[in-house]
Amino acid sequence: MKYVDEYRDAGLVRGLADAIARTVTQPWTIMEICGGQTHAIVKFGLDDLLPPAITLVHGPGCPVCVTSADLIDTAVDLALQHRVILCSFGDMLRVPGNGIDLLTAKARGGDIRIVYSPLDAVALAREHPGREVVFFAVGFETTAPANAMAVLRAEREGVRNFSLLTSHVLVPPAMRAILGAPDNRVQGFLAAGHVCTIMGVQEYGPIARDHHAPIIITGFEPVDILEGILLCVKQLESGRAEVENAYSRAVRTEGNVHARGIVERVFVVADRDWRGLGVIPASGLAVRPEYAAYDALRRFPCAACAARAASECISGEIMRGVKKPHHCPAFGTRCTPEHPLGAPMVSSEGACAAYHRYRARAA
């Protein structure tokens, strides 16, 4: 398949792994931000090709994994107490809240529907004018334009019974939080290429400079990832900390200016509570006051917002690169894809799900 096969070429992969081995002279810890990259690394065994001096740790770039348990509770509350039609991507249904998950809420009579686009939810609202329809808008910078477009479409068509429950998160503030943590061990980043197709690369320069950490904009296939690691190792070995775009076939320096404009029209930057990481200032998107009519949190009084006791899930330490999934005592025993205790075991981009799916060994 064009644009896929050439980036899985075994000869290129081996050549890049050899180049990394020739370049490295001391231990380095590199974090791939995106859960899609984590799955590619584990699926293709790329970490097994690297010299032992390179440690890859897995970042918070799985939107399902970082959606707070309180927001899951709020979604459950909207479905069961406010009796809205709650629309969500399928990944979210089995993510544990503080109480029940959305699948259980559906079994208890909640009208919870899996959709494939926020526009499906707008269409549902149009078809059911007597019902309130809420779309659970989860995601990073990549999904924000489509959700903003849904609000603008609803406004243009006069659909008044549609709103968003937003859990939008932003990558750069999370990178700063990880690098600034007292127990940080990350020395360089593979940044998520698809986020940069929207946002461009300008935000990363100050992060690389302030924290002296190289940031390589990286794609998702084996050749992409190993090339990103090679560029990162070269910088680390030479004492440089710069931003490099290794995904230029998709990412322009300025990103997608039109998409960014739509996002800025509907959303405003706000503090966000990341599951496992806590509240990170200015790390999320909320619906602008001008569009309050499309903001589920403003339309419906929230009865399920109090934080409750944390579970035994160590996803926060995993997403900061301090631990790996097999370090969790519940991994593969009390926590499995069939009976998940934490979101990273549920999501198709979760690190725990990747290890469980592709790694029989627990080391």
Stretch of residues binding ligand SF4 (CB under 6 A), selected from 73-81, 166-174, 233-241, 342-350: 342-350
Tell me the number of residues near ligand SF4 by CB under 6 A: 14
- Could you give the angle at the alpha carbon of 45 between the alpha carbons of 41 and 46, nearest 5°? 60
d(CA 136, CA 72): 9
CB nearer ligand SF4, residue 286 or residue 335: 335
- Is 222 a binder of ligand SF4 (CB under 6 A)? no
131 Rama class: left (phi>0) / alpha (psi -120 to 50) / beta: beta
CB nearer ligand SF4, residue 93 or residue 314: 314
- Is 165 a binder of ligand SF4 (CB under 6 A)? no
CB of 52 to ligand SF4, least distance (A): 24
CB nearer ligand SF4, residue 31 or residue 287: 31
CB of 100 to ligand SF4, least distance (A): 17
Alpha-helical (H) ranges within the chain are 10-23, 35-43, 46-49, 63-66, 69-80, 102-107, 118-127, 144-157, 171-180, 193-199, 204-211, 222-238, 257-266, 296-299, 315-319, 351-358
CB of 313 to ligand SF4, least distance (A): 3
d(CA 294, CA 292): 5
CB nearer ligand SF4, residue 43 or residue 108: 43
Biggest distance spanned by C-alpha atoms of the chain: 66
Residues between 33 and 72 that touch ligand SF4 (CB under 6 A)? none
d(CA 271, CA 320): 18
Decide: 287 and 266 in contact? Cβ < 8 Å.
yes
CB of 168 to ligand SF4, least distance (A): 22
- Is 344 a binder of ligand SF4 (CB under 6 A)? yes
- Is 179 a binder of ligand SF4 (CB under 6 A)? no
Q: Which residues contact 18 (CB under 8 A, 6 or more apart)?
A: none
Each residue 298-337 as x (binds ligand SF4 by CB under 6 A) or -, in order, gives ---------------xxx--x------x--x-xx---x--
Q: Which residues bind ligand SF4 (CB under 6 A)?
A: 313-315, 318, 325, 328, 330-331, 335, 341-342, 344-345, 352
